[in-house]
Homo-oligomer: A and B are copies of this chain.
Amino acid sequence: MKRGARITQKDVAVRAGVSQATVSTFLAGGDGVVASETAHRIEAAIAELGYTPNRFARALRTQRSMVVACVVPDITNPFYPALFAAAQATMGSEYDVVAINTGGAAEAEDAVIAAALQGRYDGLVGVFFTRRASDFADAVRAGVAVARIEAHPKAGGALAIDDVFVDNRRAAAELTQTLLDLGHRRIEMIAAAGGPETVRVEGYRAAMDRAGREAVVHTARAYSAAGGAEVVQAMLRRDKLPTALLAANDLMAIGALRVLGEAGVAVPGDVSVAGFDDIMPAALAMPQLTTVALHQDDLGARAAGLLLARLTGAAEGPGRVVEMPFDIVARASIGPPAIQDTQRRRTST
């Protein structure tokens, strides 16, 4: 089970006819710290032997693990893989990026923070549902870099925690406004309890208030396609469909789309449907779903960039709060309301 004899700095040193410490010094890299003649010999030895530094020895010595944890509620949720992949890509090959699924549970979030505090991770990047800045205090003071991805602006305390966020509240308001501008008056929202999606409901309410329209929010069992579907089924049963339906996320919107389609209700002819997140299935839905792109890859990349800056010492001091743009992706699932509600039309455009 042991790994075969690996090439160490000592081997390189012997081959190059210098001391092991000189090899280390050379690797540390300061411009002309090593005589160019020696440098060449070492370089040659490294190449011939195929030397690669042992990251564990290095970690032990430097107290830096060179691994960061990318914290997500559930990598199986189509929203996160892109975020993770982008974070991983921007961290480069020096760092190992491990994905940690928390399930949005406090204990799991605490566990990663604790692990980081113990030196297992140099940095934490990702989405924390339950932990607030103060929960990171010990870790941050101990030198752990933290970059969070949020759904709304954060206070930005004195702690060295960087935040990247998209203003979901504003995005929801704009999306609602888009529907309003199209002529819709009865716009209802589907959401579930808790989660960062809550601010989307606020945005919707704000926009409706502003327009002098009544906000109606239906609570689903979960932020899933099934959750969205059930709500719409109930609406259908009572024969009370609005002209536009805004779902707190794409999964719910797609569930709604399905039920509507099966009931022969035309989208967007009879009712317009919009979602949130711009996950892949949204573009594949029929009709294609109008949604808000949060650009999860950019979020991951940006957050990882901030993390990297902390890690390399390029950034210091209190945390930065950077806002990232969203985009309303207008697709086929929305259109102007029919003159008369709930009449049957063609199934798609």
Interface residues of A (CB under 8 A from B): 1-4, 6, 52, 54-57, 59-60, 63-65, 67, 74-76, 78, 80-82, 84-85, 88, 96-99, 101, 117-120, 141-144, 225, 254-255, 257-258, 261-262, 280-281, 283-286, 288, 311, 313, 347-349
Q: List 22 A-B contacts (CB under 8 A).
A: A1-B143, A3-B144, A6-B119, A52-B118, A55-B120, A56-B119, A57-B60, A60-B60, A67-B98, A74-B85, A78-B78, A78-B81, A81-B81, A88-B101, A96-B96, A96-B120, A97-B98, A225-B284, A257-B286, A258-B284, A258-B288, A281-B284
> With a CB–CB cut-off of 8 A, which chain B residues contact A99?
84, 88, 98-99
Verify B56–A65 contact, CB threshold 8 A: yes
> With a CB–CB cut-off of 8 A, which chain B residues contact A54?
60, 118-119
Verify A284–B254 contact, CB threshold 8 A: yes
> With a CB–CB cut-off of 8 A, which chain B residues contact A57?
60
State the CA gap A254–B52 with chains docked (Å).
45
Q: A2-B143, A54-B119, A254-B284 are in contact. List 5 more A-B contacts (CB 8 A).
A: A3-B144, A4-B141, A56-B60, A261-B286, A281-B284
CB of A107 to closest CB in B, whole Å: 12
State the CA gap A255–B118 with chains docked (Å).
48
Give A5's nearest chain B residue, CB to CB.
B142
Verify A143–B4 contact, CB threshold 8 A: yes
CB of A242 to closest CB in B, whole Å: 21
State the CA gap A10–B226 with chains docked (Å).
54
> With a CB–CB cut-off of 8 A, which chain B residues contact A56?
56, 59-60, 65, 119
State the CA gap A286–B288 with chains docked (Å).
11
Verify B98–A98 contact, CB threshold 8 A: yes
